[in-house]
Amino acid sequence: MPKVLNFSDPPTANAKVCSLDELVALRADWKAGNRRVVFTNGCFDLVHPGHVRYLAQARALGDALIVALNSDRSVRRLKGDTRPILKEDERAEVMAALAVVDAVTIFDSETPFDVIRAVLPDILVKGGDWSVDTIVGRDVVEANGGQVLSLPFVAGVSTSEIVRRIQAFGS
C-alpha cells in the first residue's frame, strides 16, 4: 500500500533550518570530517534564477553551504517597509529545500558578522555586487586562514526587478 502524504506536516527541508548554536555544532562536525564549508548570506526574498546560479556556484567551492538569512526586521531596515515579501520562515523553508544548501540560519542584526565569527567558514562568498574588500566578515575569515570571494552577478535579475514587473503587469 502506498504511503499517504500528509501535506500539513512540515517539510523535511525544515530540518536544515538551524539556530546559531545548532549551526556551530554542525560546523564543528563538518570540520572534524574535513569538510570545506562555504558561507553566504542575504535576504533571498524571492528566489530567482540569479540566486539559484549564485548558490550553485557557491556550493561548488566546498563540501557544505551555509546560508544565513536576514530576519524580517533586518530586511525592513535594509530594504524599507514594503519588504520582505515572504516572511523569514517562508524564505528559510524555500532556501532549505534547495539541494545545494546544507544549512540555513536566520540572523536579526544588520550584518551577519556575529554568525560568521561563530561559524568561521573556510570560504565566505557574496554576489558580484559586493567587492571583496566590502564583504562583512572578511577580516575574521582571512585571519582564520579562509578565503573570501565575490561571485559573478547575474545582471537584470533581482527581486526588485521582479517586483517592478509584477507591478507593471497589474497596472
Q: Residue 169 is inside which H or E element, if any?
A: helix 159-170
* SS (HEC) of 81-145: CCCCCCCHHHHHHHHHHCCCCCEEEEECCCCCHHHHHHHCCCEEEEECCCCHHHCCCHHHHHHCC
CA 6 to chain centre: 28
> Do 39 and 26 meet the contact criterion of CB atoms below 8 Å apart?
no
Domains and CATH numbers, the chain: 12-170 (3.40.50.620)
Q: How many other CB atoms are found less than 10 A from the CB of residue 105? A: 25
Residue 42 in grid coordinates: 542575504
Identify the CA nearest to 137 among candidates 166, 109, 115: 115
State how far the Cα of 59 lies from the Cα of 43, in Å rounded to an integer.
Answer: 18
Supply the pLDDT for residue 165: 77
Per-residue pLDDT reduced to its tens digit, 74-131: 999 998 898 899 999 999 999 999 999 999 999 999 899 999 999 999 999 998 888 9
State how far the Cα of 111 lies from the Cα of 43, in Å rounded to an integer.
Answer: 11
State how far the Cα of 76 lies from the Cα of 4, in Å rounded to an integer.
Answer: 40
Identify the CA nearest to 153 among candidates 50, 39, 38, 40: 50
Per-residue pLDDT reduced to its tens digit, 13-69: 578 999 999 999 999 999 999 999 999 999 998 898 889 999 999 999 999 999 999
Mean pLDDT of the chain: 89
Supply the pLDDT for residue 12: 54
> Do 138 and 151 meet the contact criterion of CB atoms below 8 Å apart?
no
For the cut 80, the answer to whether the pLDDT of residue 163 exceeds it is no
